[in-house]
Chain A
Amino acid sequence: MKDKKRGEIILSIFFLAFFIMLTVLSLGYSAKSRRLPLIVGIPGIALAGADLYRKTIRRPTTEPQRRRQTPGLHEMEEEDEGTGGEIRKAAAMIGWVALLILMIWIFGFLVTIPSYTLLFMKLRRESWVASILFAGIGFAVLYVLFIMALHIELYPGLIFKQ
């Protein structure tokens, strides 16, 4: 619960910071270019600020008040046990996505796609057969569709760029 609440506050802070940045930077632009950023930024600061205020400072005190204001609180408290795990899993998944992009950048699409598929599936406890099969199919589809049919050059990656 605490973790989840903390996460929500971080997101609120992100939005507030974003609108503040938007507004402050807009002051450096000419009058015409400043107009819409200010129309969006100032209410944005107000709303995000109010949202943050409600989540941090104005905390409900009594138990029935809490339950009324936060529907599903009971379920959320039951999830408490797993929330720490959830954050870890989310971080891991984000890591997986970042890894895909990193691999594409370095090794290019043709190498990354089968190897990433294999890696992901194996680490998620799939069998060798399934993993290799899917990796192979993925590679084949890619090759046929992009290279042979559409003649699209797939990014070769830093390593293979001549």
Chain B
Amino acid sequence: MDVLNSAWQGLIGVFQPGAFLLMMVGVILGNIVGILPGLGGQFLLAVLIPFVFGMNPISGMALLLGAHAVTGTGGSITSILFNTPGESSNAPTCFDGFEMTKKGQAGRAMGAALWASGVGGVIGAIALLLVIPIIRTIVLSFGPPEFFMLTVLGISFIGSLEVKSPTKGLISGLFGLALSLFGEDPSTGIIRYNFGTLYLYEGMRQIPVVLGLFAVAEMIDLGVKGSQLVTGKIEVKDSVWEGIRDVHRHWWLTLKCSIIAVYIGFLPGLGGVASAFFTYGYAQRVSKHPETFGKGNVEGVIAPEAANNAKEGGALIPTIGFGVPGSSGMAILLGAFLVMGITPGPKMLGQNLPVVFAMAWTVAIANIIGAAQTLAFAKWMARLAFLRSSLLIPLILIFVALGSFTTSSSMGDLVLTLIFGILGYFMKVYDYSKAPLVLGLVLGRIAEGNFNLSYNLFGLGFLTRPITVILSLLVVWALIGPILKRAREKGKGRAAE
């Protein structure tokens, strides 16, 4: 009864006029900043923190969580419309979302993406609350060996991502893995592949690479073809609703992906980007038509979008439960909480439950409002995809340059964007899929680090830990599954002859 009471109190707190207004402001800011590639949630939080000094906790939290919950949304829109990911975690949305735009289904893609984000965020918030009692046990049973296996599982999805040409897919994946190895190796202090430059000292920066591979490559392609991104007219208004309905049609997928994302979100050490790729790969594996992924299948949009927002709810869990930030965005939030007099940690669950609920409700509601806000403009934004190339190309290129540069004020980032833009274009022309590359880039280092750590702590015996064994069986399933499936289909084909 006490718990229900706290839940109700938390909910009322969110709807206080001051707090609610601040949440709306946070959501608007989050949407705007989210649109610019590169500038992420962390940046906005850092900028907002001075404003929350002296605010009462629920109001300040409403502003910050409101902003943080929706910064991913802006990136989803640019991913769908212009193949321009806002962050690496938006890359999977590009794979199918942009293809849908090219088919004239921008509205539908956005409707699906935004609604899935909203729903995913809510599920994430609910999962947060359900898990709280057993949080400690779960989080502490996953250590470096388990993280290593999880990354191997993620990487093994590469195999199923590239259905057309396995060789090219593997080359792309290995290339991505290789790129992730550039820079200082924490296990030895040796700086690998920096070619004497300081720029590559800390490794390949993901954002310039991803922006180049997707956005710049696409603009080069558009410039070559000369016309418009989308040819022909489509009724955008109906499409947006269609997208929303898609999420409900695929509600089971939405739910599963959200839950997977929440768990990945609260397991430290894996990185939030992984959840978007995992769920995309998973959605493809369990889909009835996996061969349509990468060509404009709305499931390929729903999965990563739900995941991206759900994982933030997941990242709140260790932040609140342990006082340990679950993501870099959370680290900043933690600082803000302290300033407002909230001390996250197990004590909070005991003494300040209404505040915890208020946080969860804020995240849930901010997601819905953010989705609704953006959906209202979706129709107008979808029109942008119909712009002539001579307008669109400078717009997007400048957009990308700004985003690429602002994160670290380095010209090197722009050069990197150019190089990967060129590579991305030729990969596109010659049918080398980019998904494995990004997957390898994101997971490679994490896998290596966790392997070395596991080996350092436990020797090779780490492979026999129970959860590790279960995960390795999943890896086998992920790798062998597609091969068996193809063999079965060939068998069927032969039988039919």
Interface of A toward B, CB cutoff 8 Å: 4, 7-8, 11, 15, 18-19, 22, 25-26, 29-30, 32-33, 35-37, 40-41, 43-44, 47-48, 50-51, 86, 89-90, 92-94, 96-98, 100-101, 104-105, 109, 113, 116-117, 120-121, 124-126, 130, 134, 138, 142, 146, 150, 152, 155
Complex Cα distance, B422 from A36, in Å, reads 27
Establish whether residues B409 and A113, one from each chain, have CB atoms under 8 Å apart when the complex forms.
no
Cβ of A7 to closest chain B Cβ, rounded Å: 7
Identify A155's interface contact among B193, B393, B405, CB under 8 A.
B405
User: By CB atoms of chain A within 10 A, which of B185, B390, B391, B427 has the most?
Assistant: B390
Question: Across the interface, which residues of B come within 8 angstroms of A4, CB to CB?
Answer: 429
Establish whether residues A47 and B167, one from each chain, have CB atoms under 8 Å apart when the complex forms.
yes
Complex Cα distance, B181 from A126, in Å, reads 45
Chain B: number of interface residues, binned into ranges: 35 or more
Give 24 A-B contacts (CB < 8 Å), ordered by A residue. Answer: A7-B426, A8-B430, A29-B188, A33-B192, A35-B448, A36-B448, A40-B174, A40-B177, A44-B171, A44-B178, A51-B168, A89-B223, A97-B220, A97-B421, A101-B418, A116-B394, A117-B394, A117-B398, A120-B390, A134-B395, A142-B402, A146-B402, A150-B47, A152-B406
9 closest Cβ contacts across the A-B interface?
A: A93-B223, A124-B390, A89-B224, A93-B220, A44-B174, A120-B394, A117-B394, A33-B190, A33-B185
Q: What is the 8 Å Cβ interface bit string for chain B, positions 11-51, against chain A (1 contact, 0 not)?
A: 00000000000000000000000000000000000010000
Establish whether residues B398 and A138, one from each chain, have CB atoms under 8 Å apart when the complex forms.
yes
User: At the interface, yes or no: B354 with Cβ under 8 Å from chain A?
Assistant: no
Q: What is the 8 Å Cβ interface bit string for chain B, positions 185-207, against chain A (1 contact, 0 not)?
A: 10110101100000000000000
Given contacts A11-B426, A44-B171, A121-B394, whether A33 and B187 have CB atoms under 8 Å apart is yes
Cβ of A146 to closest chain B Cβ, rounded Å: 8
Establish whether residues A104 and B401, one from each chain, have CB atoms under 8 Å apart when the complex forms.
yes
Establish whether residues B444 and A36, one from each chain, have CB atoms under 8 Å apart when the complex forms.
yes
Given contacts A90-B224, A92-B223, A104-B414, whether A30 and B432 have CB atoms under 8 Å apart is no
Establish whether residues A104 and B224, one from each chain, have CB atoms under 8 Å apart when the complex forms.
no
Cβ of A64 to closest chain B Cβ, rounded Å: 19
Question: Across the interface, which residues of A come within 8 angstroms of B192, CB to CB?
Answer: 25-26, 29, 33, 37
User: By CB atoms of chain B within 10 A, which of A40, A96, A146 has the most?
Assistant: A40
Question: Across the interface, which residues of B come within 8 angstroms of A100, CB to CB?
Answer: 397-398, 401
Given contacts A113-B398, A124-B390, A155-B409, whether A44 and B175 have CB atoms under 8 Å apart is yes
Task: Look across to chain B and name the residue whose beta carbon is closest to the beta carbon of A116.
Answer: B394
Identify B401's interface contact among A7, A29, A101, CB under 8 A.
A101
Establish whether residues A97 and B181, one from each chain, have CB atoms under 8 Å apart when the complex forms.
no
User: At the interface, yes or no: B273 with Cβ under 8 Å from chain A?
Assistant: no
Establish whether residues A47 and B47, one from each chain, have CB atoms under 8 Å apart when the complex forms.
no
Q: What is the 8 Å Cβ interface bit string for chain B, positions 440-453, against chain A (1 contact, 0 not)?
A: 00001000100010
Question: Across the interface, which residues of B come within 8 angstroms of A15, CB to CB?
Answer: 171, 175
